[in-house]
Amino acid sequence: MDEHDRSRRLAAFATALSSADEDSLRGWRDEADSWSAPDSDLDGVR
């Protein structure tokens, strides 16, 4: 991904985030928390 494409994607994300309602933001935060959990990509298998 080149720098221009990266900047466009970040701008689109920032726009979506700034216009989201509180329920959408809560759902996004919950999903992001689950992605950042240790071993989340292993589905509980170690």
Q: Is residue 27 part of a domain?
A: yes
43 belongs to a structural domain:
no
Residue with tokens 């700034």: 18
If one counts the domains in the chain, the total is: 1
Could you tell me if residue 28 is inside a domain? yes
Q: Find the domain containing 15 and state its range.
A: 3-36
* Residue 45 within a domain: no
Q: How confident is the model at residue 3 (pLDDT cuts 50, 70, 90)?
A: very high
The pLDDT value recorded for residue 22 is 93
Residue 41 lies in a domain: no
Name the residue among 44, 42, 24 with its Cα closest to residue 32: 24
5-44 per-position pLDDT tens digit: 999 999 998 998 899 999 989 998 888 888 887 766 666 6
